[in-house]
Amino acid sequence: MVLKKIIFGLLILIPFGSCVNIFVHPSSNLWFYAYSSGDMPTSFALTPSSFLYLNTDNTYTLDFGSFDYGKWVKRRDTLVLHSVGGKMSSYLINYESSKDLKLTVMPDVVSDFSAAPSKFTSPVANPFSLGNNKWRISANHKESRQEIRQRLINHCEFWKAYFSWALDNNIQSVDVRSTPTAIKIYGNGFALKKFDDLPAAWRRYFYDSADCRLANSMIENIFKKETIAWATTDNKYKMFLGAFEQLENFLLKDNADE
């Protein structure tokens, strides 16, 4: 996800040894993909929603087409990521400053990342924390209706934190197109995407297509029988923050009714 200056009325774009922080300014540790030099294969396709969050406590989260988290360390000119799953990834740091980070993500491909505000009052307020991104972790078993509902609730929590982050930091506009989701966000509302139009990444979060269809039907049923009360405000962030809070509450209500 990369911040873009787009007119909002048209579209919301919207221990592993001694660890040393790699940044001149420790607060500048949230990075969004901007562009790459060199040909990037589709199997490793970064998008404007691709982020790398390097916390000052040397934990990280990232989404480079799939979600990952663990511990990071800088070793000379190399950023080393130790995934919680045991995988280790190394990226050559071609350039770094408080606003710009260039990493060699694969041979002959250098990707540029731009810094974004990264001060959060708590992990709950951080849209890039592990807690707000459990919905991105692919299921390793057939999930129950309750587990799928919880995945959708966590997805709403991400969007709430995301729009709150943009609001609190006076960010002019944010990208909403590239984040894998079943919700299509417009300038003045949102709708459920058709099953055939769901992003491939979103489908991969579920154990199988049946679970993915169930998730869609749960949202569809809410949209059919409930009404989202859109806030009367010119601030799009406040409007969508309130809408996703209501969707989350409807999901919780459905759980209580069962």
Domain-by-domain residue ranges, the chain? 30-116, 123-257
How confident is the prediction for the chain on average, in pLDDT? Answer: 87
Contact 38, 103 (CB under 8 A): no
The model carries a pTM of 0.87
Q: Within a 13 Å sphere around the CA of 163, how many CA atoms are in the beta-carbon half? A: 19
Burial class, 167, CB count within 10 angstroms (exposed 0-12 / middle 13-18 / buried 19+): middle
Answer with the residue of higher pLDDT: 39 or 177: 177
With cut-offs at 50, 70 and 90, classify the pLDDT of residue 40.
Answer: confident
Helix, strand or coil, per DSSP, at residue 180 = coil
Q: Would you identify the CATH topology of the domain 30-116?
A: Lipocalin (2.40.128)
pLDDT digit string, tens, across residues 4-17 = 333 333 334 443 33
% of the chain beyond a pLDDT of 90: 74
Tell me, what's the pLDDT at 146? 97
Q: Is the model's pLDDT at 19 over the cut of 80?
A: no
What per-residue confidence (pLDDT) applies to 4? 37
Listed as own residue / partner, the contacts of 207-215 with beta carbons closer than 8 Å and 24 or more positions apart are 207/139, 207/140, 207/141, 207/142, 207/143, 208/142, 211/139, 211/142, 211/143, 211/148, 214/145, 214/148, 215/148, 215/151, 215/152, 215/182
> Could you read off the pLDDT of 128-183 as tens digits, one per residue?
999 999 999 999 999 999 999 999 999 999 999 999 999 999 999 899 999 999 99
